[in-house]
Chains A and B, each alone.
Chain A
Amino acid sequence: MGIEEKLPAGFLLTTVEQLAGYFRKSSVWPATFGLACCAIEMMAVGTPDYDIARFGMERFSATPRQADLMIVAGRVSQKMAPVVRQVYDQMPEPKWVISMGVCASSGGMFNNYAIVQGVDHIIPVDVYLPGCPPRPEMLLNAIITLHEQIQNTPLGVNRVAAAHAAEAAALAATPTHDMKGLLA
């Protein structure tokens, strides 16, 4: 079982990847994980004005068992952190995470004892979306970026190769404290 991870390489694999990617991105069901103010913008995305239903994503699922995408919308407190992890673990594969807003991405303006400084301390994040709160159009942009990622996800041997390549790139990259920003 788990044939998806054992697919051999070749032209057919590329087609299968594209096909599976297309099917997967067309029916993403988000999990309701609105924690704070960003949840309002997430709700706004569900309204007809910004319309997440055009992606088939209007069905926010309260249970993680039927959810594909976890949009962490809002600040994660120390008390909420194990709950975030448990809900993420209870989602079946394949699953993705968008950390919506600055609080979920990095702790935001709350640099204190009570707030986890970025939900990526707890769960792996696919798309970081800054904003306080991000406008609904920005959330839609993040979702479209995620759709492109899903469309181009490698499967089988390609996935193993991509993981190795990502690890090598991360090891060879300049660390943040060596980077010179616009001031240098």
Chain B
Amino acid sequence: MSNKGENDNLPAAPGTHPEPVVIGTRQGMFGVSDGGDTSGYGGLVAPVLFPAAALRPYGGYFDEVADALERALVGGSALYAQAIERVVIDRGEMTVFVAREHLVGVARALRDDPSLRFEMCTGVSGVHYPHEAGRELHAVYHLRSITNGGRQIRLEVTCPDDDCHIPSIVAVYPANDWHERETWDMFGIEFDGHPALTRILMPDDWPGHPQRKDYPLGGIPVEYKGATIPPPDQRRSYN
């Protein structure tokens, strides 16, 4: 089990760990931000932060996992350095950023090595960061080891918007079939080697990928007696 102490769920205090990485700024919160905003949220400016790479020792079982992964990858440490971009330990959870070319090898090592044995992959989720040039689309895999006491690890793979291909790990974790279809449907990440990458949530001939940040909400104005209310993403912010 991950040993969650009382402070494990808090973000790092400034100065103790490497500072978070700023990948962009966020202007405003919700709704229209040009005129008519009475809530004040339209003037909000906030940085978009990512936790930085963690330093050894990671704590808990994360060190064991990192060492075992290094041993298990064919080729030893050299391949580990190529395959693993960075390891992030944040709020008591371990995220391993994997280079997309080595994803299948890392997944196979995590599944097969006796001291790792992450036999359960609960699916792949897509994330879209439009501010992060060159790494816009992320695919996040959550792995769980039942044999080794409920350990959890997260793999994160990035790809640029204009070349959004990630190798499919259906050969390693067959249950990812539909999850990868959903990620393709919603984000447009193409999984090379997937047996049948088709739309699963939207109709087969739907254009676009709805969960990207630049995809409009698609609402229609609603007509009441005496007034018409615009769709949610075009309304004033009321307070």
Contacts and interface: CB of A to CB of B under 8 A. Distances in A.
Direct A–B touching, Cβ under 8 Å? yes
A48 interface: no
Contacts of A111: 217, 219-220, 222, 231-232
Given A78-B203, A78-B206, A79-B203, A181 B219 contact: no
B225 A79 contact: no
B226 interface: yes
B218 interface: yes
Interface in A102-151: 106, 111-114, 117
Contact of A112 (B201, B218, B222): B218
A179 B225 contact: yes
Interface in A53-109: 78-79, 106
Given A78-B202, A79-B203, A114-B202, A181 B224 contact: yes
Nearest to A174: B225
Contact of B218 (A106, A113, A177, A180): A113
B203 A181 contact: no
B39 interface: no
B225 A176 contact: yes
A183 interface: yes
Contact of A177 (B201, B219, B228): B228
A113 B216 contact: yes
A168 interface: no
B226 A112 contact: no
B227 interface: yes
A171 interface: no
Given A78-B202, A78-B203, A79-B201, A113 B210 contact: yes
Given A113-B210, A113-B216, A113-B217, A177 B223 contact: yes
Contacts of A176: 223-225
Interface in A160-184: 176-177, 179-181, 183-184
B219 to A, nearest CB: 4
Interface SS of chain A: helix, strand, loop or mixed? loop
Contact of A179 (B206, B216, B226): B226
Nearest to A175: B223
Contacts of B232: 111
Nearest to A183: B226
Nearest to B199: A79
Contacts of A114: 201-202, 210, 218
A117 B229 CA distance: 14
Contacts of A183: 226-227
A176 B229 CA distance: 13
A183 B225 CA distance: 9
Contacts of B228: 177
A66 to B, nearest CB: 29
Nearest to A181: B225
Contact of B226 (A113, A117, A181): A181
Nearest to B203: A79
A181 B223 CA distance: 11
A158 B228 CA distance: 38
Given A111-B220, A113-B210, A176-B223, 14 more contacts: A78-B206, A79-B201, A111-B217, A111-B222, A111-B231, A112-B218, A112-B219, A113-B216, A113-B217, A114-B201, A114-B202, A117-B220, A179-B225, A180-B225
20 contacts: A78-B202, A79-B202, A106-B222, A111-B217, A111-B222, A111-B231, A112-B218, A113-B210, A113-B217, A114-B201, A114-B202, A117-B220, A176-B224, A177-B223, A179-B225, A179-B226, A180-B225, A180-B226, A181-B225, A183-B227
Interface of B: 201-203, 206, 210, 215-220, 222-228, 231-232
A-B pairs, top 8 by smallest CB distance, nearest first, are A113-B218, A181-B225, A111-B219, A179-B225, A181-B226, A79-B203, A180-B226, A112-B217
